[in-house]
Amino acid sequence: MKRLVLSVCLFAGGQAYAVDAPLPPAQRWLDSVSNELAPFWLHQDAYGSPLGNFPTFRCNDGSAYQLSQSCDELANAPKWMAAHLNENYTRMQARHTFVYGVIFHLTGDPQALKLAKAGVDYLRSHLLEEPGSVISVTEQGKSQFSAAQRTTQDMAYAQLGMAFYYYLTGDPAVLADLIKVKNYIFEQYWDEQNQRLRWVNAPSSNGQGNEIELVAQLDQINAYMLLISPLLPEPEKSRWNADLSALLNTIMQQFLRPDDFRFWGTKHGEDYQQDSARHNDFGHTAKAWWMSWLAAEYLGDSTLAQNSLKGLKATLNAAFIEEGEGGWRRLPNGAPAIWWEYAELDQAAASLALIEPEASHYLSQTYPQWFQRFVASDGGTYPVANQGLKIHLWKSDYHALEHALVAYLSSAQLNGETARLFFAMPQQQAQLRQPYFYRAQSIQAKAVGQWQNLAISEVSYRGIGINHSK
């Protein structure tokens, strides 16, 4: 039976009332990664040809997509997706790389680390261009957009797999390319007059160039900058921190709605203020508050940190479904959140619980729904309640694996357990081995194996909390 029951009913004076039970042990998240998520990604058809050229589309049983004899779920793909089934998307290739990195990080499986490296190697050798742009979409090996037509969101997510791989290994060649791409983004897309990153620099089916997009700013932070900035040497760290601060200012000054704690997903067109408009959901708002809070704490901006914390709490309260079995909604009085929105809301609540343990009240009700609605019994995750394509041009298990990592670390801390993560990093870089976006008071490491002349270390953490500015 997959579902966890975390609340019980007690009786007092003849009245029944719900009491939140403890969160599941941290081991539940390790079991989920090993037994529920990893099998879909360790299917041989996920590895790509050549190795590391991970396919954007696969069938729900994990097998390769073949136009001549397509599985039912792809043969009947929605119209908006069907036109793209022969394309490969770099953002998804990078997200799949992240998936393998987290599987290794949580389980120590060297096969997953090998696949993460293969994904990084393929991107660097086949998709990375000089002086720092990254091909975003290919069909039969050919780029579908010029450098100027690529979106800043696609550029940000091209960094995701490399960033996590650097976090695991400290590979200096990968860091050099991360810096190259980041510099290209800010040099080519930053609009000095309007103080924001442009969506595109030339018109195409990606956009016309007049778009004002939250994710053009926000996804730079969550895809690579918040993770990598604390790990950088000077003077690069100061430059990244300054750009990180500028993005936070853009988000707060240009996208925060004036009358509540939500963010506009866009600021162009006639209908962007409608609840149903692009990216006006609680998922994007929760991600924006979560990222701004953690980044402000890291940068030492106490005013922004306090304001972000206030916005985050208001968002969680508004998005939480108290009726029935609990969960998250995607819009006020709207339908339940889809998988990635649900993950972002859980991650924000879990991070809040590190400083205010009473926030685990949300998690005791939302975690069971995560397992029941989204985790597939035959591996991988669904985008909506027990249905839908497990993988496509916007769906992978990036969100599910990040969700598992954050839930594992926070659950260990809240339950008084020791968390442990695996790295393959030289000993002289051991000071970089912090637990993802967080910081730990106690860190102990032991070597448990070898991988490509690097010692695989199992690192144990206690006292996990928010990464404050030193």
Closest residue by Cα to residue 215 from 340, 384, 390:
340
Specify if 456 maps to a domain.
no
Closest residue by Cα to residue 99 from 402, 429, 454:
402
User: Residue 403: how many CA atoms within 13 Å on its side-chain side?
Assistant: 25
Distance CA 70, CA 86 (A): 12
| pLDDT, position 453 | 87
One-letter identity of residue 241: N
CB atoms within 10 A of CB 122: 21
Pair of tokens at residue 146:
């010029």
Q: What is the DSSP letter of 266?
A: B
Residue indicated by tokens 């909604």: 329
| pLDDT, position 14 | 33
Specify if 445 maps to a domain.
no
Parent domain of 224: 42-254
Specify if 112 maps to a domain.
yes
Count H helices and E strands in the chain, helices first: 17, 10
Is 18:325 a contact under the CB 8 Å cutoff? no
Residue 84 sits in a domain whose CATH number is 1.50.10.10
Q: Which residues contact 409 (CB under 8 A, 6 or more apart)?
A: 26, 419, 435, 436, 438, 461, 464
| pLDDT, position 20 | 61
Query: Cα-flanking dihedrals φ and ψ of residue 13, to 5°?
Result: 60, 30
| pLDDT, position 17 | 29
Closest residue by Cα to residue 309 from 357, 349, 346:
349
Q: What is the DSSP letter of 49?
A: T
CB atoms within 10 A of CB 345: 28
One-letter identity of residue 63: S
| pLDDT, position 470 | 65
pTM of the model: 0.95
| CA torsion through residues 205, 206, 212, 214, sign | positive
Specify if 164 maps to a domain.
yes
Is 24:6 a contact under the CB 8 Å cutoff? yes
Closest residue by Cα to residue 433 from 457, 412, 453:
457
Rg from Cα positions in the chain: 21
Distance CA 65, CA 283 (A): 30
Distance CA 157, CA 131 (A): 18
Residue indicated by tokens 């819009």: 331
| pLDDT, position 347 | 98
Query: Cα-flanking dihedrals φ and ψ of residue 20, to 5°?
Result: -65, 130
Three-state secondary-structure class, residue 259:
coil
Strands (E) in 155-202, as ranges, are 190-191, 196-197
Distance CA 72, CA 67 (A): 11
Tell me how far apart the terminal alpha carbons of the chain are, to the nearest angstrom: 46
Domain total in the chain:
1
Residue 50 CB burial class (10 angstroms; 0-12, 13-18, ≥19) = exposed
Is 206:143 a contact under the CB 8 Å cutoff? no
| pLDDT, position 79 | 94
Pair of tokens at residue 433:
């081995």
Per-residue pLDDT of the chain (470 residues; tens, 9 = 90+): 343 333 333 333 333 324 466 799 999 999 999 999 999 999 999 999 999 999 999 999 999 998 878 899 999 999 999 999 999 999 999 999 999 999 999 999 999 999 999 999 999 999 999 999 999 999 999 999 999 999 999 999 999 999 999 999 999 999 999 999 999 999 999 999 999 999 999 999 999 999 999 999 999 999 999 999 999 999 999 999 999 999 999 999 999 998 889 999 999 998 999 988 999 999 999 999 999 999 999 999 999 999 999 999 999 999 999 877 789 999 998 899 999 999 999 999 999 999 999 999 999 999 999 999 999 999 999 999 999 999 999 999 999 999 999 999 999 999 999 999 999 999 888 888 999 999 999 999 999 999 988 889 999 999 999 999 76
Three-state secondary-structure class, residue 426:
coil
| pLDDT, position 5 | 38
* Count of residues making up the chain: 470
6-19 per-residue burial string, b: 16 or more CB within 10 A, e: under 16: beeeeeeeeeeeee
Pair of tokens at residue 331:
């819009």
One-letter identity of residue 301: D
Specify if 402 maps to a domain.
no
Is 249:303 a contact under the CB 8 Å cutoff? no
